[in-house]
Chain A
Amino acid sequence: NAGVTQTPKFQVLKTGQSMTLQCAQDMNHEYMSWYRQDPGMGLRLIHYSVGAGITDQGEVPNGYNVSRSTTEDFPLRLLSAAPSQTSVYFCASSPGTGVSYEQYFGPGTRLTVT
């Protein structure tokens, strides 16, 4: 199993550009989520999904879109990048209710918006 994979590892964008951060998991997990990590603030939840076709907003959703068409993939879209979106982005997956609730994290994507 590859676990949770994220691409790209690094990205530099100009203000106003759009892009998609990719996240995939091969563990057949129901739950997937996106977090951003900023200095001194820990990780904050952007969006999450409890299954294919179901998504919801987390703590800091503005400026981001998600969709979940398959169990495996959960891409995060930046519609019009802003310098405030410079951050490290982590994708996570979890088996869901009734199991261990352990969260499996991807390696992260470091995004810089200039």
Chain B
Amino acid sequence: AQKVTQAQTEISVVEKEDVTLDCVYETRDTTYYLFWYKQPPSGELVFLIRRNSFDEQNEISGRYSWNFQKSTSSFNFTITASQVVDSAVYFCALLIRAGNMLTFGGGTRLMVKP
């Protein structure tokens, strides 16, 4: 069975601080995909990134960066110089190829204060 754990249920930072959201996953499959989604107060799910299990390269996109480490089964997400607009719930999710369905973590609510 698959499992995704986001141990931080809520994080509060002041604008311009850096913040890292943790994600730890469990699966016995060797082929899988990891995702991060953002859910702003409006409620929709916004896709941020997908990473497959064979690609451990870290990725940077503007103020966002992701650190994938298979050795620790982690896929952490860092926001540099946070902004109020980053306030949202962030979900990490795991997809194994066989089922093509997502297993979500419980989410981390990020509050960025001005």
Q: Return the chain B residue nearest A102 by Cβ.
A: B50
| B45 surroundings in chain A (CB, below 8 A) | 90, 105, 108
Interface contact A97-B104, CB-CB below 8 Å: no
The answer to whether A107 and B102 touch (CB under 8 A), given A101-B95, A101-B97, is: no
Interface contact B104-A101, CB-CB below 8 Å: no
Interface contact A103-B97, CB-CB below 8 Å: no
| B99 surroundings in chain A (CB, below 8 A) | 48
Interface contact A40-B107, CB-CB below 8 Å: yes
Instruction: Kindly state the separation between the CA atoms of A33 and B104 in the bound complex, as whole angstroms.
Output: 14
0/1 string, A67-109, CB within 8 A of B gives 1: 0000000000000000000001010101011001111010110
Interface contact A31-B100, CB-CB below 8 Å: yes
The number of chain B residues with a CB under 8 A from chain A is 23
Instruction: Kindly state the separation between the CA atoms of A45 and B9 in the bound complex, as whole angstroms.
Output: 21
Instruction: Kindly state the separation between the CA atoms of A13 and B104 in the bound complex, as whole angstroms.
Output: 27
A68: min CB distance to chain B, Å: 14
> When the two chains form the complex, which single residue of B43, B102, B106 contacts A103, counting CB atoms closer than 8 Å?
B102
Q: How large is the interface on A (under 10, 10 to 19, 20 to 34, 35 or more residues)?
A: 20 to 34
* B33 within 8 A of partner (CB): yes
| B35 surroundings in chain A (CB, below 8 A) | 103
A71: min CB distance to chain B, Å: 15
Interface contact B101-A40, CB-CB below 8 Å: no
Instruction: Kindly state the separation between the CA atoms of A41 and B104 in the bound complex, as whole angstroms.
Output: 8
The answer to whether A97 and B100 touch (CB under 8 A), given A40-B107, A107-B44, A108-B44, is: yes
* A50 within 8 A of partner (CB): yes
Instruction: Kindly state the separation between the CA atoms of A31 and B102 in the bound complex, as whole angstroms.
Output: 12
B13: min CB distance to chain A, Å: 20
* A42 within 8 A of partner (CB): yes
| B91 surroundings in chain A (CB, below 8 A) | 42-43
Interface contact B100-A101, CB-CB below 8 Å: yes
Interface contact B101-A48, CB-CB below 8 Å: yes
Interface contact A105-B100, CB-CB below 8 Å: no
